Amino acid sequence: MKDYYAVLGVARNASESEIKKAYRKLARELHPDVAGPEGEERFKEVAAAYEVLGNADKRAQFDHGVDPRSSNGGASAGFGFEDIFETFFGSAMGGSSRRGPASRTQRGGDTLVEVEISLEEAVFGVRHDVTVDLAETCTTCGGTCCTPGTKPATCPQCNGNGVVQRVARSLLGQVMTTAPCPRCGGYGSIIESPCTDCSGQGRSRERRTVPIDIPSGVETGTRIRMSGSGDAGPGGGPRGDLYVEIREGAHKTFERRGDDLHCTIELPMTAAALGTVATVETFDGPQEIDIKPGTHAGATVTLKGLGVGKLQRSGRGNLHVHLDILTPDELTDEQSELLRKLAVLRGEEFAEARLAPIGGGVFARLKDAFLGRA
């Protein structure tokens, strides 16, 4: 049994597009009109290989050790020569994938613009004005591409059909093929008097300011689609879409992790030992937090609902306030004496360092705070 994969020069796990690409390349090289009569047999082998590998069912049979061509004595009724004709002639037998002339009216392209916002704007959302260069329908010709008062003329070469026919020689003899008209480009008409303001394009580029409502919860990489706000289409066609990609700036105090915010406040050692009420400046204004006596470094206080707005659902994340306890590095004689007296009262004047049990200590508390368990 002939190895059709080897004939086409592709791997056994080649994709459908890879098989088709290999076939077309070989078919062009081996066609008798190119390679001469000596390439005819090899051309037939390539066509037979593609007949099998280009059909999912036949390929499956071949992969299981059955040559589907041997069961019907050669080329099957299901083998279409359309691929061969398409390879060389575009479309054949008078047929065409496009019926009639092409339209000059097309949808405009999509446009991507980047917008940088602050963390606070990401928390609450913001209305932002974006300046962007867009293709706009020509106000002079209204997208017709013609000088006002004129219109496209029927192409004399294709008589308005947009395609022309020609006779080509193939293995099957003479074949009538169709191709886009070279005179009008397939439109079926010719613009003899193009609009001077848009150079016959039906549109021109202009700078526009587009207002955008950016919802809360967006982050770097979020894309907002504004349907119908992109480039105007050629020939007065509909507009494309405008995509706004968000870039979130860093904040000097708050760090964002998903929908939650994190910040750190510094407390004197005495305030942590005795307890106090601390005021934290948040995006929602000043908030008081209760510091309990004996608070350790790395402890976390969570303020519910003061984080970032959730993009696809209601509510907001939380604000996690991490506590950093400051130990004085410079003491007066009087302060040092007071601390010594405190150490004596607490029985710590000869205190020795000891290992903390698993699950305890400042590092465990820091881990719990990071994982949201504090």
Residue 267: pLDDT over 60: yes
Q: H or E element: which one contains 134?
A: strand 126-137
d(CA 50, CA 55): 8
The predicted structure's pLDDT at residue 280: 94
d(CA 194, CA 144): 9
Tokens of 257: 């992790």
Q: Is 146 annotated as a binding residue?
A: no
Q: Is 138 annotated as a binding residue?
A: yes
Show the domains of the chain with their CATH numbers: 4-80 (1.10.287.110), 111-142+200-248 (2.60.260.20), 255-370 (2.60.260.20)
Residue 278: pLDDT over 90: yes
Q: For the segment 93-147, what is each residue's pLDDT rounded down to a tens digit?
A: 444 445 578 888 889 889 999 999 999 999 999 999 999 999 999 999 999 999 9
Tokens of 259: 């929908």
Q: Is the dihedral of CA 156, 162, 167, 168 positive or negative?
A: positive
Tokens of 211: 């207002």
Assess contact for 241 and 299: CB atoms under 8 A. Answer: no
As a three-state string, the secondary structure of 173-233 is EEEEEEEECCCCCCCCEECCCECCCCCCCCEEEEEEEEEEEECCCCCCCCEEEECCCCCCE
Q: For the segment 34-79, what is each residue's pLDDT rounded down to a tens digit?
A: 666 677 788 888 888 898 898 887 887 787 777 777 644 344 434 4
Q: For the segment 301-341, what is each residue's pLDDT rounded down to a tens digit?
A: 999 999 999 988 889 999 999 999 988 888 899 988 898 89
Assess contact for 109 and 238: CB atoms under 8 A. Answer: no
What Å distances lie between residue 148 and 139, 143, 202, 236, CA to CA?
Answer: 10, 10, 12, 14
Strands (E) across 218-351 are located at 223-226, 242-248, 255-257, 260-268, 276-282, 285-291, 300-303, 319-326
Q: Which one-letter DSSP state was computed for residue 359?
A: T
What contacts 108, CB < 8 A, 6 or more positions away? 135, 203, 230, 231, 232, 233, 234, 237, 238, 239, 240
Three-class SS state of 362: helix
Three-class SS state of 50: helix
d(CA 113, CA 164): 42
Q: Is 195 annotated as a binding residue?
A: yes
Q: Is 263 annotated as a binding residue?
A: no
With tokens 């082998």, the residue in question is 45
Note if the pTM is more than 0.85: no
Q: For the segment 226-248, what is each residue's pLDDT rounded down to a tens digit?
A: 999 999 998 888 999 999 999 99
d(CA 336, CA 4): 91
d(CA 304, CA 317): 7
Q: Is 155 annotated as a binding residue?
A: yes
CA 135, 137, 140 angle in degrees (round to 5)?
Answer: 130
d(CA 228, CA 108): 9
Tokens of 295: 């608070």
The predicted structure's pLDDT at residue 345: 85
